[in-house]
Amino acid sequence: MTNDKNIMVILSSPSGVGKTTITKKIQQKYPSFKISVSHTTRKPRSNEVNGVDYYFVSAKEFEELINKNKFYEYAKIFGNYYGTLKKNVDDAIKKNDIIFDIDWQGTKKLSQFGNLKLIKLYLITENKIELKKRLIKRNLDSKQEVEKRFKSFEEDVKHWYDYDYVIINKNLDNCFKQIEKIILKHKEKKIYLTS
Ligand code: 5GP
């Protein structure tokens, strides 16, 4: 069940484009936004906190949640499960706007729920070389993980047409401003239409 005035924004991108940074920036500037915290079977990175970045669970726990139909969507990405719990979204939207940092598979599945009114944004870098540089520079994944993530680029970008907006993250501040504009436009429209 959605609150009429609150909006749901999906941010997707190939790994390394800067989506997590932007998601956090939106939440810092606009406290009405809650980031949807996904469940994953991936191991936490050194800078990640359970319950903040993800709920880190075992494959057994994740599969139990699948069997109990607890997810709006889930996908296997780079060999691990990632999923969005229905309860977390349904609770959050009563009081907050929501940002989802999920991939194209999750976006497709969430789009099938008529009750979720989504604004879908896809972020890309200006070219592949820049993406590789950023994946290496952020230094959060092993060399093997970087390769896996880089290789998924071609498949990932094929899905840009499932999104309402495609934004190039060449400069973080400009990219953020563009996203801000889109979000505020949709938010104002909703407030206007429902008041
Ligand atoms: P990472 O391991 O780098 O945190 O995330 C890998 C990919 O999984 C990213 O593209 C991220 O957006 C995506 N992801 C994170 N949570 C979810 C989720 O709940 N569902 C889906 N479908 N993708 C997710």
Which tens digit of pLDDT belongs to each residue from 81-124?
999 999 999 999 999 999 999 999 999 999 999 878 899 999 99
Mutate to test the pocket of ligand 1, among 15, 22, 82 (most ligand atoms within 8 A of CB): 82
- Ligand 1, atom 5: nearest CA belongs to which residue? 15
pLDDT interval class at 148 (50, 70, 90) = confident
Q: Is the pLDDT of residue 191 over 50?
A: yes
Token digits for 144?
Answer: 């093997």
Ligand 1 closest atom vs CA 14:
10
Token digits for 179?
Answer: 């996203």
Q: Each residue of 5-51: pLDDT tens digit?
A: 899 999 999 877 888 889 999 999 999 999 999 999 999 998 899 99
Domain extent listing, the chain: 8-194
- Ligand 1, atom 17: nearest CA belongs to which residue? 102
Ligand 1 closest atom vs CA 104:
22
Which CA distances in Å does 182 have to 7, 57, 161, 188? 12, 34, 17, 10
The finding on whether 75 has its CB within 6 A of some atom of ligand 1 is yes
Report the share of the chain in percent with pLDDT over 90: 65
**pTM (2 decimals)?**
0.91
CATH 3.50.50.60 assigned to 8-194: no
> Out of 54-63, 105-114, 124-133, which region has the weakest mean confidence (pLDDT)?
124-133
pLDDT interval class at 1 (50, 70, 90) = very low
Give 102 Cα–ligand 1 centroid separation in angstroms: 5
Give 160 Cα–ligand 1 centroid separation in angstroms: 16
- What is the residue-averaged pLDDT of the chain? 90
